[in-house]
Amino acid sequence: MKRTARAAFIIAFVICCFAVFGGYKPVHAEEVKADQNADVQFQWAFGALKKANGSKFEAVTKDTDLKTGDQIKFFLKVNDNCFVYLIYRSSQGQLSILFPPRFKLLSAEYTLAGNHYVPKGDQWFELDEHTGEERFYLLASKKRLMDLEALINDYESADAAKKPALAKAILAGIRKLRKQHLKFKTHAERPVNIIGNLRGTEKAEKAGSHDIAKFAVEISADTFYSRTFTIDHK
């Protein structure tokens, strides 16, 4: 996968072992109300621009097929009451952190409340020639996932020979987190309309047909939330 619009980017850390998570079913706004008392609450959108269909722009709400040359982008509106992580695993088993852009372990300054596009501005991620199964892991927690952050820091600073073992440890850590939080209340998701209300967005997209924020859903959960999106890259 590579970044377009004058920026090269190879993703190595996907929302990976989050593939063990269940399927996604969107709900209508009238079917569920956001839990204002939820410990974890944020907005999220995943959009794809499919070249084969005349650059068709659509939301990605479940596991899907994409092809080399297709482009993807994410939107997050993070509240100051939770911590959100977006992780990518490539078809070659490489991992990378997509959000937050960077964190420092044990830093008391960790806050990214507000609106964010990933990648920023008018850039998009583009699927490269490496086909296979790719995964994106979306995690949100009331508390910082310090152990996970430590593993990620170790992975990013390790030499190539040590990375495979550390990648396995990260994925195992994600599975462990999910098991630990199975007893908590099931999350709720509802569509939201935030177009035209993006003040404070970090280099916000220009309003238009390709603004993924129009696909945003509001997610609420008790203590912890996790989703995995699997891409069959052909």
Global pTM? 0.76
* Ordered DSSP codes for 90-131: -TTS-EEEEESS---TT-TT----EEEEES-TT--EE--S--
Print pLDDT tens along the chain (234 aa): 655 543 333 333 333 333 333 333 333 322 334 455 678 889 999 999 888 767 788 899 899 899 999 999 999 998 877 899 999 999 999 998 899 877 655 455 556 778 899 998 889 999 998 899 999 999 999 998 989 999 998 999 999 999 999 999 999 999 999 999 887 655 666 666 544 333 333 343 443 457 888 889 999 888 899 999 999 998
Tokens linked to 2: 């590579």
What is the domain partition of the chain in residue ranges? 2-233
Phi, psi (5° rounding) for residue 174?
A: -65, -45
CB 32: neighbour CB atoms within 10 A?
A: 13
